[in-house]
Amino acid sequence: MAAVILRGAGWDGETTVAQLSLRGIKKRFRDTAVLHGIDLEIGDREFVVFVGPSGCGKSTLLRLIAGLDPITEGEFVLNGTRMNDVAPSRRGIAMVFQSYALYPHMNVYENMAFGARLMGLEKPEVERRIAETAAMLRLEPLLKRKPRELSGGQRQRVAIGRALVRKPDVFLLDEPLSNLDAALRSEVRLEIAKLHREIGGTMIYVTHDQVEAMTLADKIVVMNNGRIEQVGSPRDLYETPANTFVATFIGSPR
């Protein structure tokens, strides 16, 4: 089998940079404050994993970065440009959801083509990108199937493929493995790690699974109640947790 060697988020020689700054990000829904001021720098090609209990604001933060919800206060800056008011389709950011969110009436090929067409890409370019992505994620035999004819793991690979076809600079993955059984979970987890090695885009990944966080992350961000408790490498957090909350959450012996 021919090896597929891909480099940089632009893949074929184009190199892109994706550095994100979150500055004092706050989010309120009506009277409810959900994020209380998030400050974080994310480096180019970094794999950052957000962990924290259910309801602490992880998905909300990803939705703000993707542009699916407005930021109440604070700034999101990507490569030096303020993104607060930039349309989601123009941010160079793709999001993969826990629930796959595939279009049920479209086959796999059409699902993958959809976002790329919205970006205004010509048909031959869309075809080329789908072929490349399908080879990488082993989706070729599935291209004509509808989502209901796929297993959970296959659906999630399609959802990842659909994001990849857009060649985003930044990938947001919100608990992408939580609907999969244990065996598939480790298979798709390895797939995501491989993808990051080969494509090199900046990855922002949400999970409540310590194993995923410890094995995938360059940097872990521990959240609680709409705030960041600690940021560090898996080893830092394990060996020197900032407080009891982090220690308990990461499962360190302290």
When the beta carbons of 36 and 145 are compared against ligand ADP, the nearer one is 36
Question: Which of 14-22, 28-36, 89-97, 232-240 is the region at the interface with ligand ADP (rule: CB under 6 A)?
Answer: 28-36
With beta carbons less than 8 A apart as the criterion, state whether 21 and 48 touch.
no
- Choose which of 11, 20, 50, 59 interacts with Mg ion (CB under 5 A): 59
CB of 66 to ligand ADP, least distance (A): 13
CB of 228 to ligand ADP, least distance (A): 12
| CA–CA distance, 83 with 67 (Å, rounded to integer) | 8
Residues listed for the chain: 254
Residue 156 sits in the site that holds Mg ion (CB under 5 A): no
Question: Which of 26-34, 105-113, 130-138, 146-154 is the region at the interface with ligand ADP (rule: CB under 6 A)?
Answer: 26-34
**Alpha carbon separation from 133 to 137, 165, 198, 214 (Å, rounded):** 6, 7, 12, 27
Return the half-sphere exposure (C-beta side, CA atoms, 13 A cut-off) of residue 254. Answer: 16
CB of 162 to ligand ADP, least distance (A): 21
Q: The tokens 């109640």 sit on which residue?
A: 225
When the beta carbons of 59 and 202 are compared against Mg ion, the nearer one is 59
Residue 55 sits in the site that holds ligand ADP (CB under 6 A): yes
**Alpha carbon separation from 165 to 27, 32, 95, 131, 237 (Å, rounded):** 30, 37, 12, 9, 34
Interface positions with ligand ADP (CB under 6 A): 29, 32, 34, 52, 54-60
